[in-house]
Amino acid sequence: MANHEKSLGQVVSELKIDAREFLDTRVQMLRSEVSTKLAIVKVSAPMLLLGVALGVLAAVCLTGALVAVIAAGLGGGIGSWALSLLIVGLCYLVIGGGAAFFGYKQFSAEGLAPKRTMKILKQDQVWLANEARSQL
Check if the beta carbon of residue 74 is closer than 8 Å to that of residue 84. Answer: yes
Least confident of 4-8, 10-14, 25-29: 4-8
Closest CA to 44 of 97, 118, 117, 110: 110
Q: How confident is the model at residue 115, as a pLDDT?
A: 76
Burial class (CB in 10 A: 0-12, 13-18, 19+), 131: exposed
Distances (CA, A) of 78 to 89, 104, 116: 17, 38, 60
SS3 48: helix
* Structure-model confidence comparison of residues 21 and 5, the more confident one: 21
Mean pLDDT score, 70-84 = 90
Which residues in 26-135 belong to E strands, given as ranges? none
The number of CA neighbours under 13 Å toward the Cβ of 42 is 6
Q: What distance in Å separates the CA atoms of residue 25 and residue 91, rounded to the nearest whole number?
A: 53
Higher pLDDT, 105 or 53: 53
Domain locations in the chain as residue ranges: 43-125
Summarize the confidence of residues 36-44 as an average pLDDT. Answer: 85
State the average pLDDT over residues 116-133. Answer: 80
The more confidently predicted of residues 11 and 26 is: 26
Distance CA 69, CA 81 (A): 10
pLDDT at 1: 46
